[in-house]
Amino acid sequence: MAKKVTAYAPASIGNVSLGFDLLGAALKPIDGHCLGDKVEVSSAEQFSLNVVGRFAHKLPADPTTNIAAHCFHMFSAKLKEKGIPVSDVAMVLHKNLPIGSGLGSSASSIVAALHSLNVFFDSPFSQHQMLLMMGELEGQISGSVHYDNVAPCFVGGLTLMNHHGDHIALKLPLFENWYWVVCYSGISVSTSVARDILPKQVSIADTIKFGQQLAVFVDACHRQDENLAAAMMQDVVAEPYRKSLLPNFDASREFVMQNGGLAFGISGSGPTVFAITNDAQHAEKIKDWLQQHYIQNDDGFSHICRIDAQGADASTIIA
Ligand SMILES: Nc1ncnc2c1ncn2[C@@H]1O[C@H](COP(=O)(O)OP(=O)(O)OP(=O)(O)O)[C@@H](O)[C@H]1O
Ligand SMILES: N[C@@H](CCO)C(=O)O
């Protein structure tokens, strides 16, 4: 009997303005659009990776350089360490997210690939072990290990990273009435380049502001004080330096904040931006305006989303 596992891993917002490398959110478009990569895994005599989908052509043609192939090799090596025999598989990556978009594109491929492999091999790794592998693979791409895309993408929700003990991703209470409007401009920004332009030191004033904002935000989430939470969503670490890479960023913020927006910022390392509003009509208006003024080419798009509370999802077919 042939077994095939398909895993889906949603797009995500890294940083969420106030939590550089520490806060992330998984996204689910309200219109049912599939905003995330998928990976299929089935048995094979020899390992193979086939890449299809809207943004497949933007990846290097050689599949051995694809992070999904690296996922299989890391997964196999860790299984061998456990003394579990590894068989080869055929993988198909549906590359639905644009590369260098700020939507956690590589994270989505990593999570879909590792989750499909883990389910295919009957879940030999715990959630914690999987997250460690995901962070390491993400680090291979961006030059430093950060979990703010892979963690929400895998476990869902609005997640705060914790480097103590076995719970890397702490899920925060959500504001269920918030719409998250995301707009990808269509250009590509490399995460490692966007990290390299940041200063290596942060001033004492910014350190105090960063700590205070994150602490007050978490408290406001627990007390469901949406105005206070939104007021904390300012980026003192990355946005002042990265926004110069993003044409029309300041004009977009101005429009959003004058049209029902509670907060506006860069998604991950950009160029995608996000706006939060608690009103459906304002969400539509913001989406339309960003579509007309923030998008630069035919690759761009905008979606109104809720937080994806579930994260990665897998299904198995045995035929
Ligand atoms: N499956 C994959 N998905 C995305 N990028 C991949 C994949 N495999 C290899 N890469 C390479 O990894 C690099 C991804 O760069 P980068 O981290 O800037 O993008 P990203 O993960 O798409 O960004 P973001 O998190 O901002 O969406 C590119 O050089 C790309 O060619
Ligand atoms: N926290 C990471 C996210 C990258 O998508 C950064 O801002 O560099």
Give residue 1's pLDDT: 74
Looking at the fold, whether 31 and 146 belong to one and the same domain comes out as: yes
Instruction: Give yes or no for residue 191 CB within 6 A of ligand 2.
Output: yes
Q: How far apart are CA 113 and CA 255, in angstroms?
A: 38
CATH number of the domain encompassing residue 134: 3.30.230.10
Ligand 1 atom at minimum distance from 193 CA: 18
Looking at the fold, whether 132 and 270 belong to one and the same domain comes out as: no
Looking at the fold, whether 120 and 226 belong to one and the same domain comes out as: no
Looking at the fold, whether 288 and 151 belong to one and the same domain comes out as: no
Instruction: Give yes or no for residue 265 CB within 6 A of ligand 2.
Output: no
Q: Which structure tokens are listed for 110? A: 């990593």
Q: Pocket of ligand 2, candidates 189, 193, 195: which has the most ligand atoms within 8 Å of its Cβ, to mutate?
A: 195
**One digit per residue, pLDDT tens: the chain, 319 residues?**
789 999 999 999 999 999 999 999 999 999 999 999 999 999 999 999 999 999 999 998 898 999 999 999 999 999 999 998 889 999 999 999 999 999 999 999 999 999 999 999 999 999 999 999 999 999 998 778 899 999 999 999 999 999 888 899 999 999 999 999 999 999 999 988 999 999 999 999 999 999 999 999 999 999 999 999 999 999 999 999 999 999 999 999 999 999 999 999 999 999 999 999 999 999 999 999 999 999 999 999 999 999 999 999 999 998 8
Q: Are strands 263-266 and 12-14 parallel, antiparallel or unpaired?
A: unpaired
110 is in an annotated binding site: no
Q: Pocket of ligand 2, candidates 22, 106, 109, 148: which has the most ligand atoms within 8 Å of its Cβ, to mutate?
A: 148
Ligand found nearest the CA of 193: 1
Ligand 1 atom at minimum distance from 188 CA: 18
Looking at the fold, whether 192 and 262 belong to one and the same domain comes out as: yes
- Ligand 2 center–CA 80 separation, angstroms: 32
Residues 46, 47, 52, 57: is their CA dihedral positive or negative?
A: negative
CATH number of the domain encompassing residue 200: 3.30.70.890
Q: How far apart are CA 28 and CA 15, in angstroms?
A: 17
Instruction: Give yes or no for residue 149 CB within 6 A of ligand 2.
Output: yes
For 57, 100, 178, 182, the CA distances from 62, given in Å and listed in that order, are 11, 18, 41, 31
Give residue 47's pLDDT: 95
270 is in an annotated binding site: no
Number of independent structural domains in the chain: 2
- Ligand 2 center–CA 188 separation, angstroms: 14
* Helix runs in 157-304, H state only: 191-196, 204-223, 226-231, 239-242, 249-258, 280-293
105 is in an annotated binding site: yes
Instruction: Give yes or no for residue 106 CB within 6 A of ligand 2.
Output: no
Ligand found nearest the CA of 91: 1
Looking at the fold, whether 135 and 195 belong to one and the same domain comes out as: no
Looking at the fold, whether 113 and 258 belong to one and the same domain comes out as: no
Range of the domain at 146: 3-172+308-318
Q: Pocket of ligand 1, candidates 39, 72, 106, 138: which has the most ligand atoms within 8 Å of its Cβ, to mutate?
A: 106
Looking at the fold, whether 183 and 159 belong to one and the same domain comes out as: no
For 85, 106, 281, 312, the CA distances from 250, given in Å and listed in that order, are 54, 27, 22, 33
* Helix runs in 17-123, H state only: 67-81, 105-120
CA end-to-end span of the chain, whole Å?
6
Looking at the fold, whether 119 and 192 belong to one and the same domain comes out as: no
Ligand found nearest the CA of 142: 1
Looking at the fold, whether 190 and 159 belong to one and the same domain comes out as: no
Give residue 85's pLDDT: 84
Q: Which structure tokens are listed for 291? A: 């579509």
Q: What are phi and psi of 303, to 5 degrees?
A: -140, 145
Give residue 306's pLDDT: 98
Q: Whose CA is nearest to atom 4 of ligand 2?
A: 268
Looking at the fold, whether 119 and 245 belong to one and the same domain comes out as: no
Instruction: Write down the pTM of the prediction.
Output: 0.96
Looking at the fold, whether 89 and 207 belong to one and the same domain comes out as: no
- Ligand 1 center–CA 174 separation, angstroms: 28
Q: How far apart are CA 280 and CA 92, in angstroms?
A: 37
